């Protein structure tokens, strides 16, 4: 059964090819169904393969299709490595992707490029599967870049708007910065270990010099930072929300952005072999990312921006987990996060859809009654991410915090603060969207105008606000609701994968044991400590929710005292980088271009001009006077005489 | 052979040659210029004769005849050209020939 | 002195009587004879005699013609004469190369290999014969071009052809001279005729001016040359190249100041003729003003003859003085190549352009001279032969485009030529690219050969300068091509109607000439072996005159 | 020595078929050009047909060559040797090995496509004639095994391209054409002197006549170290100008910008490869020791080219200029790979040459389509074309991604191998050059956004999408882009033996071949050396390739 592995990526690829060539002819609903079916089938195959994998020794199966790049000792195969880690990834990638495909059929209804959307989505799923299934770094890089390209296509899917186009470009280029690290890391791996195949070089990792391992890990970490939106390369992710919402859900929340985490977990032997400062760096960057993104999320007005920063924040958590050695915790959180974040994005999409492309939370409110299914499923997601037991997010986040505490109390405290903020801003979102007053009527404008005066960062498009007057929110079609329900279900119960109470309940840890077990930090949680951590987490989550309740529903505290402009502007990191690139960077580029045209080209043309100029001057010698010519002959003769006489030895 | 150079004659010839050359450089009248060339050729003739005498070789003298013939032929052509020129542009000197330059 | 007697016999065949009076040639009278007459191998002189006598006969018989001569008569006759001269050189070549048969005829030359005759004043070697044939080719091409030109310019008559034949005879004399005085006489014969040709177009002041300038400067430089001969004579006691060489092999020559001065002066005279910088000043003006077919001849023939002289004197006779003359020629070559190329690119007149480019070409040939090797010699003759066709063709096109009055030589006159006269434009393009040294043209091989010679002689820097100057001068050829093909210039469209919108009628004779030039240029570019092999065999040689009569004594 | 080398170089006499396929590759286009030249000007359509027939015939011949090529053979195959200029021992000497094979095939493919992709605006006869001449010249240059013949072919390509740019180009075409011609000619001037010196020295070496025979010269072993370096320098100037390598590149943007579409395609697709191919065949193979000596310089130039070309490209306002500068960057990769002097780098470089030919050729074809519609290349006057012409935009996207080096498309494989190979030998250069991938994305995506994204204005809203014939033209290139990206193995398999041959000869010649790993002073070096000692036990250690 496990031999069917090749089908998993092939099905979406086939879907992609069919849609690419025939998409337009197939037309709107069918193209969507086709794409969904392909991914759904892929999920089914994945389940079958999963069942087959149990019988494999060490739960590992390798399949090599053909040699991709053969060059002497450098051999790269198109080959798949199916082990517990990639199996887990494959299952949740295909599963969630199938749901989101289904959702998109409803969401993208009526779009002029409907088939194209599914073409890209299928290609994305294919690339993502290559990323997780690839048995070597180069093939992973293929998937890595493939998802990047798809992300680019999909972010700028509605390219008629310049922001969308810019956002796509920004995502791609920022990712490329990370790719630089990925490539250099790959080079070093090959240089130091002579192969890029995971199963060959990872076992060698314990033997290599710490500095080499550190360098490899650091370079790959740079790659991961780009893809997984860690500070400072996180700037692209919030902008990426310009894409259609299913894209945000699938790519920029559930799957692609977790690729960095996947990579880090995949190379855990190298992380283990590297100098101790490197895991610390990863943990600190993860923690800082989580913290900073959470503060930013607090002050966002755009519903998708909140979710985007929340994603960044959660990715920070995952990196924190990687840094502190909690690889299985990272994967655990990755999976639960995939469920609830996809859920919330889709819910947000449903809201946006129902609100006729309105994304500003200040114009929402009290949607609970108009969109009951959306609201209820969203609430599940909210509870999950806020860390309210027994929803999945509680368990996974707690797992990470446990590892963090094991490493350092400071990280733990920061993690808790971030968790508090997470609960706060998610509650803020829920309260403003689904509760409170309906602000999507005419009365909203005056209030908004008032707000705008204070808050420059408000992303309100005044042209569209006219259209917003006639908004009549409605519930979304069934194709969109089914995925919501499914995801809500899993968001609620996914925690059972890895309950911390007894060893036996830690299914995921056991499952991942062959991959990460050797390098996983060892936790010996006594019952008391466990209880302490669980209770602390619960309190923190409830505190966050309660705080938001007071601020946004009861309005006891002025929201503006919390939603600082500094946060709203994302700590000015994005602006800073943009200003730098657009200012000094651009200047530098212009200077170089100027150098090219003035100095280098100028030198060439200058030689030409100098020759010409010299010739023009020389031309004056040929002045037409015959006596002058005779003089030239005479002088020439004299010079020759002079030379000749030097040859004479008198 | 160079031990008993008749330096006086050779120097005279050289001086004549230089006079001829300089004359060509400083005079503008085409006729005079032709004469200067003749002077140069005759300076060479003197040299030939001197060397012939010095080497005790008849051919030095014989060469002079050749040179004279050549010089005569040259003068013929030169004069013809001068005539043709002054027919078209009376009174023109060598410096007026400046249509062609650059 | 044998040499002198032979000169008498050779330059003035009619003075046999004089010779008889002095020395009683033929049957020797007892007791009175002390000077032997020259033994003349008339076949060896045949090319020169055919050209010279042919020219004089044309002049003579033309005066008998009543009214207008038939169209193309003189031109045809000239072509025939030149062809006959060239053909008469073929047996000589066979003899020099020691062929066993020629066209099925069994040959068994008594003295195979290079030989000398007329008392040692004339030397027949492969190099000389090659140059002679090249000169004849130049005459033929120029005659074909001149035919229509002279009619167009109302200059019909035999003079042009006669002068050309006589100057060619002079050139032939130079090519086979074995004696400095013979060389000088050849040079003068050549030059005086060419002075007149330059000034022949009486209705154009430019023509007169060019004739005048050429004459004054030419006479001036001849004086230097002659003075140089005198110095050499004074220091070596002879004007015969063989004897000079022998003299030098007997004494240690380095201290000889007179000889060196003589050498320098000879160089001045010959450098003037090949128009090497800084003795080049005449050539742009003369090329510009002279009738265009005459320029074709000048560029091809005069240069070839002058280089023949240069080789005979420097490479051959003064070969062991290389340390003295090679640096000079080195410098001249560099100056010629660079200055010629640089000045050419700022010209707007095609004829001047070609004049400067011919200076640059002279530099290339000087580079081969500087090599002073067998390979250099073959490079020289190869270059000369190829250049004859390239330059004759180029000036042939200039002749046609020049139009009545011979005045349309500006670059702008060539605009749009590709549309009005595509054949002409393509032919010119080929010839120009050949001059630029683009592969698959004879010009490339010529340059390549010269460079190989230079590199072989360890003058690599010279080779590099040569190539760089070739690039500079490529710009000038491109300019012409641009004018012909891309007349619209830089604005992207083809702009207004070009100046040259009327079709130029190509006269038959000129057409033939141009066809020959283009075919040869391309043909030798593709099958260079045809020319490389003869060029390799065309080595100069100095051969001691074998005196047929034993009892010779100097007085 | 000669004999043994000859046998190793021509191991496969059996591989040569009875049909003289290599001369046919050179002469078919030349003859075609001649026939076109003889057609009356009033029948342009006949000229086009003959040109197409000629180009297609040559293309099929090149593919037949590919099919018949014996894969595992490192030597020259299908060798044809015919004395041409006997007095100088110049031979009409053709042969193909793995290095030149794909460049020949590329030539065979790209020329017909270029013919189909664009039509001249005026005087079609001359256009087609010159184009076919160019094809023959390129073929000849890639196939020549006689230095002299190579030079001839290398040089002769200038003329047709000069004419194509100067006559059928646009804008400042004469300026561009002249600059191209003179600049390249200046470069080859040095090469000619080098070749002549080499031939003369080869003569000195074996005492016989002067010889230009590549095989013979390789066999003769008589070059002094210093001489070899000078000669290499002479050759390198020519090739560096042709490639063009920074800082000799300024002719390229001008030539590209003003050239007609077919000219740009062939210039970028094929002619630039003459430079890199020359470096490999007539630089590295001829002067192994000098190559090693110059390698750091060339690597630096390559790396600078990658970064610099990208940066300048980003600042261009003209789309074609942008692509031209991107060629500088891409060819920088090719240079770098060559001078990594290991198998990965050299093979990658050859692959990169082919890939660049395909990708940039395709880009120029697309730009040609753009130009026929909008008559401008100015980025500022284009906007939102993706909306009005989705197919066009889609194809452009694909080609652009190939140019960026997206894995799965052809551009990646070569670039990755080059960077990896360079990293093996000179790691810091590779680290810097890898940043080129960021810049490549930057300039291409930025330009793409400005041209294709956004809401089209009036002029661009009516931009017609590609018609059927235009799509057909693109199909082969697109297919190659994908195929070579997914399965480059057939190509690499054929390249590898010949590269091994070149490199093993180099190792033979350069006894002190120890330089790559002795750059002291960098922390990583120390640690990697320390590490390499450890991992020596792991058998197949990549570093051994270099360090031996």
How do residues D274-318 score in pLDDT, each as one tens digit? 999 999 988 888 888 888 889 999 999 999 999 999 999 999 899
A624 touches chain B (CB under 8 A): yes
Chains in touch with B (3+ beta-carbon pairs under 8 Å) read A, C
Q: What number is the average pLDDT over the span C53-62?
A: 91
In C, minimum Cα distance to D149 occurs at: C439
- Tens of pLDDT, residues D212-248: 888 877 776 667 788 888 999 999 999 999 988 888 9
Note whether C268 and A633 are within 8 A (CB). yes
**Rounded to an integer, what distance in angstroms lies between the CA atom of residue C463 and that of residue C471?**
13
**Rounded to an integer, what distance in angstroms lies between the CA atom of residue D20 and that of residue C316?**
48
Highest-scoring range by mean pLDDT, A386-395, C135-144, D120-129, D289-298: C135-144
Residue C306, pLDDT score: 93
Neighbours of C526 (CB within 10 A): 14
**Rounded to an integer, what distance in angstroms lies between the CA atom of residue A108 and that of residue A157?**
11
Answer whether residue C37 is part of any domain: no
Residue A255, pLDDT score: 86
Note whether C167 and C298 are within 8 A (CB). no
Exposure b/e, C6-38, CB count within 10 A at least 16 = b: bbbbbbeeeebeebeeebbbeeeeeeebebbbb
Answer whether residue A141 is part of any domain: yes
Q: What number is the average pLDDT over the span A428-443?
A: 76
| Band of pLDDT at residue C488, cut at 50, 70 and 90 | low
What is the 3-state secondary structure of B76-90?
A: HHHHHHHHHHHHHCC
**Tokens for A356?**
């006729």
**Rounded to an integer, what distance in angstroms lies between the CA atom of residue D101 and that of residue D497?**
12
**Rounded to an integer, what distance in angstroms lies between the CA atom of residue D270 and that of residue A633?**
51
Q: Which residue has the higher pLDDT, D69 or D215?
A: D69
Note whether B53 and C172 are within 8 A (CB). no
- C444, C445, C460: residue with CB nearest D197: C460
Alpha-carbon Rg of chain C, whole angstroms? 23
Residue A68 is given by DSSP the state E
Q: Is C268 left (phi over 0), alpha (psi -120 to 50) or beta?
A: alpha
**Rounded to an integer, what distance in angstroms lies between the CA atom of residue B69 and that of residue A232?**
98
Answer whether residue C284 is part of any domain: yes
Residue D245 is given by DSSP the state P
Element (H, E) at D83: strand D77-85
What residue numbers bound the domain in which A108 lies?
Answer: 1-275
Answer whether residue C514 is part of any domain: yes
**Tokens for A191?**
């240089």
- Which residue in C277, C268, C537, C172 sits closest to C381, CA to CA? C537
Please tell me chain D's helix, strand, coil percentages from 3-state DSSP, rounded to the nearest 5: 75, 5, 20
C480 touches chain D (CB under 8 A): no
- Which residue in C21, C125, C108 sits closest to C537, CA to CA? C125
| Band of pLDDT at residue D117, cut at 50, 70 and 90 | confident
**Rounded to an integer, what distance in angstroms lies between the CA atom of residue B57 and that of residue B51?**
8
C267 touches chain A (CB under 8 A): yes
DSSP labels for A360-416?
A: BGGG---TTTTSHHHHHHHHHHHHHHHT-TTSHHHHHHHHHHHHHHHH-HHHHHHHH
With a cut of 50, say whether residue D540 has pLDDT above it: no
Element (H, E) at C207: helix C205-236
With a cut of 80, say whether residue C8 has pLDDT above it: no
Answer whether residue C546 is part of any domain: no
**Overall residue count recorded for chain B in this entry:** 102
C467 touches chain D (CB under 8 A): yes
Residue D169, pLDDT score: 86
Residue D480, pLDDT score: 92
User: For strand C115-117 and strand D90-96, is the pairing parallel, antiparallel, or unpaired?
Assistant: unpaired
Percent of chain A exceeding pLDDT 70 equals: 95
Residue D205, pLDDT score: 56
Residue A568, pLDDT score: 80
Measured between beta carbons, the chain A residues lying within 8 angstroms of B94 are: 625-627
| Band of pLDDT at residue A436, cut at 50, 70 and 90 | confident
Residue D208, pLDDT score: 61
- Which residue in A246, A215, A311 sits closest to A96, CA to CA? A246
Domain final residue pick, A258, A275, A292: A275
**Range with lowest mean pLDDT among C126-135, C330-339, D169-178:** D169-178
- A623, A624, A630: residue with CB nearest B24: A630
- Which residue in C360, C348, C366 sits closest to C435, CA to CA? C360
Residue D14, pLDDT score: 44
**Rounded to an integer, what distance in angstroms lies between the CA atom of residue A141 and that of residue D416?**
11
Q: Is A464 left (phi over 0), alpha (psi -120 to 50) or beta?
A: alpha
Residue D507, pLDDT score: 83
Answer whether residue A644 is part of any domain: yes
| Band of pLDDT at residue D538, cut at 50, 70 and 90 | very low
- Tens of pLDDT, residues C91-147: 888 888 888 777 777 766 666 778 888 888 888 889 999 999 999 999 999 999 998
Measured between beta carbons, the chain A residues lying within 8 angstroms of D247 are: 600
- C188, C223, C237: residue with CB nearest B55: C237
ipTM for this prediction: 0.88
- Which residue in C332, C550, C367 sits closest to C464, CA to CA? C367
What's the CA angle centered on A134, arms D493 and A214, to 5 degrees? 100
Element (H, E) at C194: helix C180-198
| Band of pLDDT at residue D353, cut at 50, 70 and 90 | very high
- Which residue in B81, A575, B10, A561 sits closest to C208, CA to CA? B81
- Tens of pLDDT, residues D130-155: 999 999 999 999 999 988 899 999 99
Percent of chain A exceeding pLDDT 90 equals: 13
Domain count within chain C: 1
Residue A442, pLDDT score: 53
- Tens of pLDDT, residues C233-273: 988 888 899 988 888 887 665 567 888 889 999 999 999 99
Residue C20, pLDDT score: 40
Answer whether residue C1 is part of any domain: no
Domain ranges of chain B: 7-89
In D, minimum Cα distance to A588 occurs at: D311
Average pLDDT, chain A: 85
**Tokens for C468?**
């760089």
Note whether C278 and A635 are within 8 A (CB). yes
DSSP labels for D365-430?
A: HHHHHHHHHHS--BGGG---HHHH-HHHHHHHHHHHHHHHT-TTSHHHHHHHHHHHHHHHH-HHHH
Q: For the structural domain made of B7-89, what CATH number should be given?
A: 1.10.287.3510
B40 touches chain C (CB under 8 A): yes
**Rounded to an integer, what distance in angstroms lies between the CA atom of residue A147 and that of residue A125?**
8
Measured between beta carbons, the chain D residues lying within 8 angstroms of A147 are: none
In A, minimum Cα distance to B33 occurs at: A627
**Rounded to an integer, what distance in angstroms lies between the CA atom of residue C395 and that of residue C288?**
11
DSSP labels for C244-287?
A: HHHHHHHS--TT-HHHHHHHHHHHHHHHHHHT-TTS-THHHHHH
What residue numbers bound the domain in which C146 lies?
Answer: 42-537
- Which residue in C301, C77, C84 sits closest to C187, CA to CA? C301
**Range with lowest mean pLDDT among A446-455, A468-477, D250-259:** A446-455
Min Cα separation B98/chain A (Å): 5
**Overall residue count recorded for chain A in this entry:** 650
**For A499, phi and psi rounded to 5 degrees?**
-80, 140
C530 touches chain D (CB under 8 A): no
**Tokens for A247?**
């894209």
Residue matched to tokens 């192969």: A195
Note whether A71 and D417 are within 8 A (CB). yes
**Tokens for C291?**
């009738």
| Band of pLDDT at residue A209, cut at 50, 70 and 90 | confident
Domain count within chain A: 2
Neighbours of A441 (CB within 10 A): 13
In C, minimum Cα distance to B80 occurs at: C196
Q: What number is the average pLDDT over the span C185-204?
A: 91
**Tokens for C191?**
């030059």
**Rounded to an integer, what distance in angstroms lies between the CA atom of residue C208 and that of residue B82?**
9
| Band of pLDDT at residue A466, cut at 50, 70 and 90 | very low
Residue D539, pLDDT score: 40
Crossing angle between the packed helical segments C257-274 and C303-310, to the nearest 10 degrees: 160
A625 touches chain B (CB under 8 A): yes
**Rounded to an integer, what distance in angstroms lies between the CA atom of residue A606 and that of residue A612?**
9
In A, minimum Cα distance to C277 occurs at: A636
| Band of pLDDT at residue D44, cut at 50, 70 and 90 | confident
**Tokens for C271?**
């450098």
**Tokens for D213?**
């025979």
Min Cα separation D325/chain A (Å): 11
Sign of CA dihedral D166, D168, D173, D176: negative
B95 contacts A627? CB cut-off 8 A: yes
Neighbours of A54 (CB within 10 A): 10
């Amino acid at each position: 059964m496990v031999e069917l592995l090749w089908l998993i990526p092939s099905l979406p690829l086939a879907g992609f090819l069919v849609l690419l060539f025939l998409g337009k002819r197939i037309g709107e609903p069918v193209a969507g169904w086709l794409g969904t079916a392909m991914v759904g089938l892929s999920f089914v195959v994945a389940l079958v393969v999963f069942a087959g994998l149990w019988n494999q020794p060490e739960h590992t199966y390798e399949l090599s299709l053909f040699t991709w790049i053969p060059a002497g000792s450098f051999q790269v195969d198109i080959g798949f490595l199916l082990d517990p880690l990639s199996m887990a990834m494959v299952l949740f990638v295909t599963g969630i992707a199938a749901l989101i495909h289904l959702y998109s059929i409803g969401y993208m209804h009526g779009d002029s490029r409907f088939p194209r959307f599914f073409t890209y989505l299928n290609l994305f799923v294919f690339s993502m599967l290559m990323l997780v299934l690839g048995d070597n770094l180069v093939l992973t890089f293929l998937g890595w870049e493939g998802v990047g390209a798809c992300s680019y296509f999909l972010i700028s899917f509605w390219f008629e708007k310049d922001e969308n186009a810019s956002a796509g470009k920004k995502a791609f280029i920022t990712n490329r910065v990370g790719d630089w690290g990925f490539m250099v890391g790959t080079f070093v791996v090959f240089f130091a270990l002579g192969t890029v195949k995971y199963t060959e070089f990872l076992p060698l990792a314990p033997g290599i010099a710490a500095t080499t391992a550190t360098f490899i890990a650091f370079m790959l970490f740079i790659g991961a930072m780009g893809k997984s939106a860690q500070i400072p390369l996180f700037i692209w992710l919030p902008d990426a929300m310009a894409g259609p919402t299913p894209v945000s859900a699938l790519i920029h929340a559930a799957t692609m952005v977790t690729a960095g985490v996947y990579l880090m977990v995949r190379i855990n032997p190298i992380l283990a072999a590297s100098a101790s400062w490197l895991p610390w760096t990863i943990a600190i960057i993860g923690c800082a990312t989580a913290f900073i993104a959470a503060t930013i999320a607090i002050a966002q007005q755009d519903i998708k921006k909140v979710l985007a920063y929340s994603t960044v924040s959660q990715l920070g958590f995952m990196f924190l987990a990687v840094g502190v050695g909690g690889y299985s915790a990272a994967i655990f959180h990755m999976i639960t996060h995939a469920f609830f974040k996809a859920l919330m994005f889709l819910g947000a999409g449903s809201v946006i859809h129902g609100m006729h492309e309105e994304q500003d939370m200040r114009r929402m409110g009290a949607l609970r009654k108009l969109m009951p299914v959306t609201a209820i499923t969203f609430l599940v997601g909210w509870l999950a991410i806020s860390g309210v037991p027994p929803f999945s997010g509680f368990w996974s986040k707690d797992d990470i915090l446990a590892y963090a505490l094991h490493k350092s109390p400071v990280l733990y405290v920061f993690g808790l603060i971030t968790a508090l903020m997470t609960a706060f801003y998610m509650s803020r979102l829920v309260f403003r969207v689904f509760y409170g007053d309906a602000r999507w009527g005419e009365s909203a404008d005056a209030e908004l105008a008032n707000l705008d005066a204070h808050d420059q960062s408000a992303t309100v498009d005044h042209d569209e606000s006219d259209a917003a007057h006639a908004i009549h929110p409605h519930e979304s079609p069934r194709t969109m609701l089914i995925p919501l329900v499914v995801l809500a279900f899993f968001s609620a119960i996914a925690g059972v994968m890895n309950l911390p109470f007894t060893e036996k309940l830690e299914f995921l840890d056991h499952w991942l044991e062959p991959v990460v077990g050797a390098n996983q930090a060892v936790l010996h949680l006594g019952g008391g400590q466990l209880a302490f951590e669980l209770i602390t987490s619960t309190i923190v989550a409830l505190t966050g929710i309660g705080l938001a309740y007071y601020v946004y529903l009861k309005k006891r505290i002025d929201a503006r005292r919390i939603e600082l402009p500094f946060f709203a502007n994302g700590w000015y990191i994005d602006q800073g980088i943009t200003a730098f690139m657009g200012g000094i960077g651009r200047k530098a580029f212009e200077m170089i271009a100027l150098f090219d045209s003035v100095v280098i080209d100028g030198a060439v043309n200058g030689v030409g001009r100098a020759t010409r100029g010299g010739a023009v001057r020389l031309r004056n010698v040929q002045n037409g006077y015959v006596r002058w010519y005779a003089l030239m002959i005479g002088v020439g003769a004299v010079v020759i005489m002079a030379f000749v006489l030097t040859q004479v030895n008198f | 052979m160079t031990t008993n150079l008749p330096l006086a004659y050779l120097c005279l010839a050289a001086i004549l040659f230089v006079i001829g050359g300089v004359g060509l450089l400083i005079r503008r009248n085409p006729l005079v210029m032709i004469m200067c060339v003749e002077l140069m050729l005759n300076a060479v003739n003197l040299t030939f004769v001197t060397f012939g005498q010095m080497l005790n070789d008849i051919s030095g003298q014989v060469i002079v005849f050749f040179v004279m013939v050549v010089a005569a032929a040259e003068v013929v052509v030169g004069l013809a050209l001068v005539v043709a020129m002054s027919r078209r542009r009376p009174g023109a000197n060598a410096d007026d020939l400046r249509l062609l330059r650059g | 002195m044998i040499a002198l007697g032979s000169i008498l016999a050779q330059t003035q065949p009619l003075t046999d009587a004089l010779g008889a009076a002095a020395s009683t040639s033929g049957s020797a009278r007892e007791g009175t004879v002390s000077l032997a007459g020259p033994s003349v191998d008339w076949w060896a002189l045949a090319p020169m005699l055919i050209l010279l006598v042919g020219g004089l006969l044309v002049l003579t018989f033309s005066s008998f013609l009543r009214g207008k001569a038939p169209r193309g008569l003189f031109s045809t006759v000239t072509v025939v004469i030149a062809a006959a001269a060239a053909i008469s050189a073929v047996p000589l070549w066979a003899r020099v190369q020691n062929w066993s048969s020629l066209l099925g005829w069994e040959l068994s030359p008594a003295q195979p290999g290079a030989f000398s005759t007329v008392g040692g004043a004339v030397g027949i070697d492969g190099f000389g014969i090659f140059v002679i044939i090249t000169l004849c080719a130049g005459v033929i091409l120029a005659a074909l071009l001149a035919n229509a030109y002279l009619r167009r310019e109302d200059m019909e008559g035999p003079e042009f052809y006669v002068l050309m034949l006589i100057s060619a005879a002079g050139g032939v004399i130079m090519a086979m001279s074995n004696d400095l005085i013979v060389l000088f006489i050849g040079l003068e014969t050549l030059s005086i005729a060419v002075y007149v040709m330059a000034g022949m177009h009486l209705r154009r002041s430019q023509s007169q001016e060019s004739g005048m300038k050429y004459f004054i400067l030419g006479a001036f430089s001849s004086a230097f040359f002659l003075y140089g001969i005198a110095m050499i004579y004074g220091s070596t006691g002879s004007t015969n190249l063989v004897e000079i060489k022998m003299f030098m092999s007997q004494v240690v020559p380095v201290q000889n100041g007179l000889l060196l001065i003589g050498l320098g002066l000879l160089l001045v005279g010959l450098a003037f003729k090949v128009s090497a910088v800084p003795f080049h000043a005449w050539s742009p003006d003369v090329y510009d003003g002279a009738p265009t077919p005459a320029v074709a001849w000048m560029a091809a023939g005069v240069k070839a003859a002058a280089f023949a002289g240069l080789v005979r004197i420097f490479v051959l006779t003064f070969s062991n003085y290389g340390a003295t003359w090679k640096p000079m020629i080195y410098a001249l070559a560099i100056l010629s190549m660079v200055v010629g190329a640089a000045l050419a690119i700022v010209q707007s007149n095609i004829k001047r352009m070609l004049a400067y480019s011919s200076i640059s070409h002279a530099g290339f040939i000087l580079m081969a001279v500087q090599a002073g090797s067998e390979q250099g010699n073959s490079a020289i003759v190869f270059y000369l032969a190829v250049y004859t066709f390239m330059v004759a063709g180029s000036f042939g096109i200039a002749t046609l485009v020049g139009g009545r009055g011979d005045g349309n030589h500006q670059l702008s006159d060539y605009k749009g030529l590709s549309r009005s006269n595509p054949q002409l434009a393509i032919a010119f393009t080929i010839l120009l690219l050949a001059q630029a040294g683009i592969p698959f043209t004879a010009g490339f091989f010529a340059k390549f050969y010269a460079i190989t010679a230079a590199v072989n002689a360890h003058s690599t820097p010279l080779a590099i300068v040569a190539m760089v100057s070739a690039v500079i001068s490529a710009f000038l050829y491109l300019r012409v091509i641009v004018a012909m093909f891309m007349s619209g210039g830089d604005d992207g469209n083809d702009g207004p109607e070009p100046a040259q919108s009327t079709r130029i009628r190509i006269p038959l004779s000129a057409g033939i000439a141009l066809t020959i030039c283009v075919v040869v240029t391309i043909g030798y570019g593709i099958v260079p072996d045809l020319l490389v092999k003869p060029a390799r065999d065309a080595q100069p040689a100095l051969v001691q005159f074998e005196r047929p009569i034993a009892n010779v004594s100097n007085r | 020595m000669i004999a043994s080398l000859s046998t190793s170089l021509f191991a496969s006499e059996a591989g040569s078929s009875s049909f003289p396929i290599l001369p046919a590759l050179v002469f078919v286009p030349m003859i075609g050009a001649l026939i076109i030249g003889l057609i009356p000007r009033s029948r342009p359509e006949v000229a086009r047909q003959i040109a197409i027939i000629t180009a297609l015939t040559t293309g099929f011949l090149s593919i037949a060559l590919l099919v018949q090529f014996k894969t595992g053979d490192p030597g020259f195959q299908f060798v044809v040797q015919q004395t041409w200029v006997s007095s100088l021992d110049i031979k009409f000497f053709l042969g193909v090995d793995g290095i030149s094979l794909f460049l020949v095939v590329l030539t065979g493919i790209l020329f017909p496509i270029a013919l189909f992709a664009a039509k001249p605006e005026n005087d079609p006869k001359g256009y087609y004639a010159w184009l076919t001449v160019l094809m023959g010249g390129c073929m000849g240059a890639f196939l020549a095994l006689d230095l002299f013949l190579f030079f001839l072919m290398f040089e002769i390509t200038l003329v047709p391209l000069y004419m194509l740019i100067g006559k059928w180009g646009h804008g400042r075409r004469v300026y561009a054409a002249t600059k191209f011609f003179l600049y390249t000619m200046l470069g080859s001037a040095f090469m000619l002197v080098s070749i002549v010196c080499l031939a003369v020295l080869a003569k000195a070496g074996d005492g016989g006549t002067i010889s230009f025979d590549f095989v013979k010269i390789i066999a003769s072993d008589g070059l002094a170290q210093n001489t070899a370096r000078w000669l290499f320098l002479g050759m390198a100037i020519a090739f560096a100008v042709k490639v063009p390598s920074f800082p000799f590149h300024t002719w390229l943007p001008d030539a590209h910008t003003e050239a007609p579409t077919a000219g740009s395609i062939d210039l970028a697709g094929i002619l630039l490869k003459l430079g890199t191919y020359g470096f490999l065949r007539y630089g590295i193979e001829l002067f192994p020791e000098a190559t090693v000596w110059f390698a750091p310089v060339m690597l630096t130039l390559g790396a600078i080219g990658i970064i610099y070309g990208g940066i300048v490209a980003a600042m261009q306002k003209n789309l074609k200029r942008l692509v031209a500068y991107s060629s500088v960057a891409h060819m920088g990769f090719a240079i770098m790979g060559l001078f990594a002097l290991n198998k990965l780098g050299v093979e990658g470089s050859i692959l990169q040459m082919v890939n660049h030919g395909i990708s940039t050729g395709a880009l120029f074809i697309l730009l040609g389509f753009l130009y026929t519609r909008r008559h401008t290349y100015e980025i500022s006057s284009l906007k939102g074309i993706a909306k009005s012409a989705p197919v066009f935009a889609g194809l452009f996207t694909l080609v652009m991604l190939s140019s960026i080096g997206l894995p799965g498309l052809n551009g990646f494989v070569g670039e990755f191998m080059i960077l990896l190979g360079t990293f093996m030998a000179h790691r810091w250069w590779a680290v810097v050059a890898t940043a080129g991938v960021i810049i490549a994305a930057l300039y291409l995506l930025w330009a793409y956004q400005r041209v294709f994204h956004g809401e089209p204005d009036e002029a661009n809203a009516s931009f017609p999408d590609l018609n059927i014939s235009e799509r057909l033209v693109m199909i082969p290139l697109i297919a190659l882009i994908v195929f070579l990206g997914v399965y480059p193995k057939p190509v690499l398999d054929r390249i590898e033996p010949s590269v091994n041959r070149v490199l093993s000869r180099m190792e033979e010649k350069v006894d002190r071949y120890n330089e790559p790993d002795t750059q002291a002073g960098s922390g990583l070096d120390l640690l990697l050396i320390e590490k390499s000692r450890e991992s020596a036990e792991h058998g197949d250690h990549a570093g051994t390739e270099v360090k031996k």
